[in-house]
Amino acid sequence: MIFSKKVIILLSLILLSGSIFSQEKKEESKPIPKPESFITNHQVTNGGKKISYKAIASETYLKNKSNEPVASIWSVAYIKEGETNQKKRPITFVFNGGPGSASMWLHMGLFGPEVVKVNSDAKEDDGAAPYDLVTNDHGLLDITDIVFIDPVGTGYSRVVGKGKVEDYWGLNEDAASIAMFMRQWITDNNRWFSPKYIAGESFGTTRAAAVANALEGNGQNMALNGLILISQALDYAGSTSAHHNITSYLTYLPSMAATAWYHKKAGQEKTLESFVEECRNFTYNSYAPILYKGSFVTEDDKNKTAEKLSYFTSLSKEYILKSNLRILMPRFQKELLSDQGLAVGRLDGRFMGKEIDQLSDGPHLGDPSSYQISSAYTSALNHYFASVLNVKMDRPYLTSNREIGRKWNWRTVSKEQYWEPTAVSVSSKLAETMRRNTEMKVMVANGYYDLICPFFDAEFTFSRNGIDWKKIEMKYYEGGHMMYTHEPDFIKLSNDIRAFISN
């Protein structure tokens, strides 16, 4: 009787394990749904011309070496109707940064046929719905087709089948996947002879340089005609405000001066440009040598430097001396308008947020230049997809995904190679690509009030690292990281990109 029970239990376990194994096998071979595609037709007037265009919002499946779909890339393409000569019709691929951000910001803020408007002077919060979605009269569809790309894990993009996020969530992995998507899109749409551009923002500029480099390999060399780098981040040493990072103390100072000037705290007897130029000269000629002397600096030089830093930033000499002449950006954000109980934005120093905790080490509520506009952008994109492009998906559109940042692989070399942590930099990759592709142009758009990717860092980066400075078009705007939220800059940036592509 006991033996029979043991046999029964053993047989049950065998059957159960077989059932589990069968279930696992079934889950592994779960069918991959057909990629979605939504096509609509529209008209817009850009560049004084009425343009008929097709909007294609769709999923593109990337495949592994076994030709199995492993990732779905969501893109929205705007293609001019009736164009027969692909040699004369450029195509511009657009993405944002993060890593972990979808292309919503550039889509709804600058390049899309319809854009959302927030307060141009950074004086008001976006509030609650409804928001102001308008036709983009300064759009570029008269001169280029545009494809917005959402990397894996953002927007509607995701891994499918046997795909794993670690194959896409990394500096090199991300660049490889976007390069694969671009080649596939170009092939599917027969656009190999079209002039090709990439426009990226923030980490999207890191990605742009890495993708341009990746496109040279895999036996399918695809040379680009140009890169449009908005709020560049090619070398993170200059855009990481952290203790003991001497480069960042230098690169951030002119942006602090510009922001202090904007809030009428410093340099009021000068124009913005002349005040910034004065700060550039001080940074190179006086501040850098003092920082590199470290503890060897004399008390007299320390006091003179503190007085000059106070002149440029409006922070008190006492505060600067307590900071040992080294002002971290979060502290500057908190201290600049502390007499009013306000903290300034990081993405855009024009924005201000009322702080509850007056003594926190940096804004404790977050970045006002982000939380004061993000609802408008998110609502506008979801409304636009549903009401204009007729997109109907079975999952939410992720405008950002923090999980990506937590799992991101920043290694610049493969896992098989020896590597020690260092500041991320793709500047040498860009230099190499520009040497091999001598026709590729580069435009760099900088906001004076960008306190996360400072304009002086762009100058610092592009004047070094083997990059041919003469081939770089540096543009400046009186806005921040997303300078296009400032209406005059929105128009100026659109015109500058138009000229860059047209020429």
Backbone dihedral angles phi then psi of residue 63, each to the nearest 5 degrees: -120, 150
What is the predicted pLDDT for the residue at 20? 45
**369, 393, 422 — which closes off a domain?**
369
Domain boundary among 340, 369, 398: 369
Q: Per-residue pLDDT for 3 more than 50?
A: no
Q: Which pLDDT belongs to residue 23?
A: 45
Tally the domains of the chain: 2
Q: pLDDT of 447-487, one tens digit each?
A: 999 999 999 999 999 999 999 999 999 999 999 999 999 99
Above 90 in pLDDT, residue 7? no
- C-alpha distances (whole Å) from 302 to each of 96, 230, 251, 322, 395 are 41, 36, 20, 11, 57
Cβ–Cβ under 8 Å, residues 96 and 399: no
How many helices and strands in the chain, by DSSP H and E? 16, 14
CA distances from 349 to 364, 398, 478 (A): 16, 26, 10
Same domain for 231 and 281:
no
Beta bridge partners of 50: 45
Q: Mapping DSSP to helix (H, G, I), strand (E, B) and coil, where does residue 19 land?
A: helix
Measured distance CA(303)–CA(295) in Å, rounded: 14
Written in H, E and C, the secondary structure of 154-199 is CECCEECCCCCHHHCCEHHHHHHHHHHHHHHHHHHCCCCCCCEEEE
- Regarding whether 394 and 364 lie in a shared domain, the answer is no
Spatial separation of the C-alpha atoms in residues 389 and 452, rounded to whole Å: 34
Q: Give per-residue pLDDT as tens, 401-415.
A: 999 999 999 988 888
CA distance 271 to 278: 11
pLDDT band at residue 28, thresholds of 50, 70 and 90? low
Contact 453, 239 (CB under 8 A): yes
Note whether 232 and 253 are same-domain residues: no
Q: Which uninterrupted H or E stretch holds 197?
A: strand 196-201
pLDDT score of 219: 87
Check whether residue 217 and residue 249 sit in a common domain.
no
Q: Do residues 140 and 501 make contact, with C-beta atoms less than 8 angstroms apart? A: yes
**Length of the chain measured in residues:** 503
Rounded to an integer, the average pLDDT of 98-116 is 97
Do 331 and 256 lie in one domain? The reply is yes
Which residue is listed with tokens 């991320």? Answer: 424
Residue 29 in domain: no
223 and 277 co-located in one domain? no
Residue 22 within any structural domain of the chain: no
**Does position 288 have pLDDT exceeding 60, yes or no?**
yes
Provide the mean pLDDT of the chain: 93
The H-or-E segment that residue 465 falls in is none
* Lowest mean per-residue pLDDT among 48-57, 355-364, 473-482, 489-498: 355-364
Peptide bond into 99 cis (omega under 30): yes
- The answer to whether 68 touches 159, Cβ cutoff 8 Å, is no
pLDDT band for position 319 (cuts 50, 70, 90): very high
Does some domain include residue 195? yes
Reported as a single tens digit per residue, the pLDDT across 353-398 is 998 877 788 887 888 899 999 999 999 999 999 999 999 999 999 9
| Residue 487 lies inside a defined structural domain of this protein | yes
How far is 123 from 161, CA to CA, in rounded Å?
47
Summarize the confidence of residues 300-325 as an average pLDDT: 97
Report how far residue 239's alpha carbon sits from residue 220's, in angstroms, rounded to the nearest whole number.
Answer: 33
Percent of the chain predicted with pLDDT > 70: 94
Structure tokens belonging to residue 414 = 């493969």
Q: Which of 335, 369, 403 is the last residue of a domain?
A: 369
Q: Choose among 148, 155, 160, 154: nearest CA to 72.
A: 160
Per the listing, tokens 């942006």 go with: 255
Give burial (CB, 10 Å; 0-12/13-18/19+) of 66: exposed
Give the tokens for residue 204. 């999207």
The reported pLDDT for the residue numbered 213 is 96
Which residue range(s) make up the domain with 262? 243-369
- Do 178 and 258 lie in a common domain? no
In this structure, what CATH number is given to the domain that contains residue 211?
Answer: 3.40.50.1820
Residue by residue, DSSP assigns 280-342 as HHHIIIIIHHHHHHGGGS-HHHHHHHHHHHHHHH---HHHHHHTTT---HHHHHHHTTGGGTE
pLDDT surpassing 90 at residue 27: no
**Looking up tokens 């903290």, which residue turns up?**
343
Q: Does any domain span residue 334?
A: yes
